[in-house]
Amino acid sequence: MRSDLIDNAMAVSGACIRCLVYTILALPAVLVIVSSFTSGETMNFPPAGFSLRWYQKVWENDLFMSALWTSTYVAVLVALVALVIGFASAFAINRFSFPGKAFLQGLAFSPLIVPAVVLGIGLLQLFAGLGLTRTIYPLLLGHLVLAIPYVMRTILASLALQQRVLEEAAMNLRATPLQVIRRITLPLILPGLLSAAIFAFVTSFGNVTVSAFLTYGGKVTLPVQIFAYVDTSYDPLVAAVSSIMILVTLSVILTIERLIGAERLA
Amino acid sequence: MLNLSKDRETAVRDANEFVVELRSVSKHYGESIAVANVSLGARRGELLCLLGPSGCGKTTTLRMVAGFVEPTSGTVSINDIDMTRQPPYRRDTGMVFQSYALFPHMTVAENVAFGLENLKWARAEREERVKEMLRLVELPHLAERLPGQLSGGQQQRIALARALAMRPSVLLLDEPFSNLDAQLRVRMREELREVIRGVDVTTLFVTHDQEEALTMSDRIVVMNAGRIEQVGTPGEIYEAPSTSFVAKFIGWCSLLDGIVDADGTFRSSGGLCLKGNWSPGPGTAVIRPEQIRLFSHGAKGVAQNARVLQSHYYGGATRLLLDVNGEQLTMQDRFPFGRHPKVGDVLNITICIDDMRMISAAPS
């Protein structure tokens, strides 16, 4: 009787807290998206009227459009490269024991511990010394360092869940190690690979702290451009750009989830 | 279902060449020894079973033949070629795993074709062979299904079809029935045996189930603690166990330690006396449940009084634990309805010593 009462109270308060957390998490994004459709000159909530004029302004703004392109380009590249490096190292860590394995694992996760600002400054100094500050490499490398820990973690988890006996069966059926990876290992951890790619893309696409130091050839990423813009002016243009960012991120996640879903149904 | 080759047994007996041969194979994991100095060979077309309790090294032995485990010492050869250091994909074996290990992202047909693709078979021949194999295991209608949509028995048959499709020199079966329920297990056992006989492939088969081993094998290798205890036909293993471990592991039995007198009479340390003509010396008598019968007049043997300690009804038979002159013996018989012995009853029994096995203590 009494424990029923406690159970019920726990369930109700749990539901309330969950609602509260979700609301607080989603509220800023919702506010930004709603106020981006304003027809007025200032950021207000509720917005004054409805129009797409700020989206048109973004479209016409070369700085923002070029930054959006740079961000997307860098994020896609980072996702692809992080996937290759992440899979290779996760596979090695999962399958083999070799000297320095624990060190490699620790090294891969260390970017989570080092503050991103420190990383940014360090990379800036390094590439300035190498004379490569006008190339895309510093930005790519900085984002890769941030993305690889997530990618490795996700792929390591997938590999740990995978049944090794399937690979043995493939080898018994005369498949060479490379054929086993291509036809058995990779297809079976595909969901893990895709979510790792999402992690990498989102990490790169949303990053400010490292990107701020590593602009190249006058090009900046979208979050850095937003940051710079807000420093001088505060109008609904920023809300519209931010909404576009949210849209890009969400559509990447949803597309890949659909892909995984479709893969599982097939 | 299939044409059984005639005179198969004589063929097996005559063919003395080993398709698979292990010579003094050992496998150590650090300090622990999984397999110790095992030598065995499977003849062409033979169904050889590795039988033993879990942890006896039978699966490790099988995996050394498949190439998943590298022996610490000794050699493994297949078709007289030393394969000890060759990777699994260069060995002419087909394996059915305990969990079947069908690829979940491929259809049944793709699973069966996988090995053939790796062997670079032409597409048309591949498709023909897949159809043939699915007909062999009587599941041609499931070709386009995914493994997840199949029952356990169906998965097992597909795993067998996949392993046999490549026409391997040796088929390896690792506890293939342990994931099936009891009734299905018996049916699949008979089916599998028939398929294997039909394609006449040399087979190494690992199990911990003595009934499986007795019904399926041409010869049985009984293993214990990494060593071979005895190799022989099912009949030899059951009727003439060479160690008390084998006697105990294969079927129910009572083991009595004692001494055989100069006149051939066995006296157990508990005080039971059996007249026979065994060779004198210390020994262990192996008494199978079916060697103990209810005494009837005119029957051979001496009547003894036995008190029922436990009574277990198994439907077709009743298994009794008896106290005979201070020794505990297991007896199995069918009793008429309503006349099942109860605990505490005293029965008049006789112990049939004609085919009783006496294991002499190892000469020291």
Length, in residues, of chain A: 266
Answer with the one of B245, B263, B294 that is the final residue of a domain: B245
| Mean pLDDT, range A104-124, rounded to an integer | 83
Residues B196, B154, single domain; the answer is yes
Q: Is residue B1 part of a domain?
A: no
Closest-CA distance, A250 to chain B, in angstroms, reads: 28
Omega cis (within 30) before A46: yes
Same domain, B218 and B272: no
Q: Which residue has the higher pLDDT, B88 or B200?
A: B88
Of B20 and B304, the structure prediction assigns the larger pLDDT to B20
Are B81 and B118 in a shared domain? yes
Task: Kindly state whether residues B186 and B259 are assigned to the same domain.
Answer: no
Mark whether B188 and B285 lie in a shared domain: no
For residues B270 and B307, the model is more confident at B307
Is A176 in Cβ contact with B103 (below 8 Å)? Answer: no
Given B198, B218, B245, the domain boundary residue is B245
Mean pLDDT across B159-179: 93
Task: Identify the pLDDT of residue A184.
Answer: 94
Residue B362 confidence (pLDDT): 56
Query: Where exactly are the structural domains of chain A?
Result: 61-265
B308 lies in a domain?
yes
Residues B274 and B235 grouped into a single domain: no
Flag whether residue B252 sits within 8 Å of chain A, measured between CB atoms.
no
Model confidence over B219-254: pLDDT tens digits? 999 999 999 999 999 999 998 899 989 998 888 888
Q: For residue A263, what pLDDT is reported?
A: 53
Residues 63-92 (B) with a CB less than 8 A from some CB of A: 66-68, 87-89
Contact at 8 Å (CB) between B107 and B144? yes
Which domain range does residue B288 map to?
A: 253-360
Q: Are residues B202 and B112 in the same domain?
A: yes
Q: What residues of chain B lie within 8 A of the CB of A163, using their CB?
A: 99, 101
d(C-alpha B147, C-alpha A166), whole Å: 13
pLDDT of residue A127 exceeding 70, the answer is: yes
Q: pLDDT confidence of A58, banded at 50, 70, 90? A: confident
Determine whether the interchain pair A188/B105 forms a contact, defined as Cβ–Cβ distance below 8 Å. yes
Task: Compute how many other C-beta atoms are within 10 angstroms of the C-beta atom of residue B148.
Answer: 9
Q: State whether residue B295 sits within 8 Å of chain A by CB.
A: no
State mean pLDDT over B80-89.
Answer: 94
The Cα diameter of chain B in Å comes to 74
Residues B213, B118, single domain; the answer is: yes
Mutation target among A95, A97, A173, A185 for the B interface, most CBs of B within 10 A: A173
The verdict on B118 touching A (C-beta cutoff 8 Å) is yes
Residue in B142, B114, B144 with CA at minimum distance from that of residue B129: B114
Q: For the ranges A49-58, A127-136, B46-55, B291-300, which has the lowest average pLDDT? A: B291-300
ipTM at complex level: 0.81
Q: Residue B286 pLDDT > 80, yes or no?
A: yes
Q: What is the pLDDT of residue A221?
A: 87
CA distance A106 to chain B (A): 28
What was the pLDDT predicted at A40? Answer: 80
Residue B333 inside a domain? The answer is yes
- Average pLDDT of the residues in B113-140: 94
Residue B114 touches partner A, C-beta closer than 8 Å: yes
Give the Cβ contact number of residue B280 at 10 Å.
14
DSSP conformation letters of B181-220: -HHHHHHHHHHHHHHHHHHT-EEEEEES-HHHHHHH-SEE
Q: Which residues of B touch A176 (CB under 8 A)?
A: 89, 118
* Average confidence (pLDDT) over A45-49: 78
A212-249: pLDDT as tens digits: 888 777 788 888 888 888 888 878 888 888 898 899 88
Q: What pLDDT is attached to residue A185?
A: 93
Q: B257: which strand partners?
A: B284
pLDDT tens by residue, A4-38: 888 899 999 999 999 999 999 989 888 888 888 88
Are B66 and A163 in contact (CB < 8 Å)? no
CATH code for position B291:
2.40.50.140
Residue A224: C-alpha distances to residues A140, B98, B202, B254 (Å): 15, 56, 69, 84
Of B245, B276, B294, which residue is a domain's last? B245
Same domain (yes/no): B230, B286: no
Residues B141 and B231 in one domain: yes
Number of domains observed in the structure of chain B: 2
In chain B, residues with a C-beta closer than 8 Å to the C-beta of A188 are: 104-105
Please determine, for residue A64, whether its predicted confidence score (pLDDT) is greater than 90: no
Q: Please tell me the CATH code under which domain A61-265 is placed.
A: 1.10.3720.10
Rounded distance, CA B93 to CA B86, Å? 12
Distance CA B328, CA B359 (A): 18
pLDDT of res. B49: 95
Whether the predicted pLDDT of A266 surpasses 70: no
DSSP letter for each residue of B30-47: TTEEEEEEEEEEEETT-E
pLDDT in tens, B335-361: 888 788 888 888 888 888 877 888 887
pLDDT number for residue B272: 84
Which residues of chain A are within 8 Å of residue B88 when distances are taken between CB atoms? 168, 171-172
* Better-scored residue on pLDDT, B7 or B2: B7
User: What span, in angstroms and rounded, lies between the C-alpha atoms of B23 and B73?
Assistant: 9
B56: helix, strand or coil: coil
Contacts of B324 (CB under 8 A, 6+ apart): B272, B304, B305, B306, B349, B351
Instruction: With a cut of 50, say whether residue B12 has pLDDT above it.
Output: no
**B3 pLDDT tier (thresholds 50, 70, 90):** very low
- Evaluate if residue B15 carries a pLDDT over 80: no
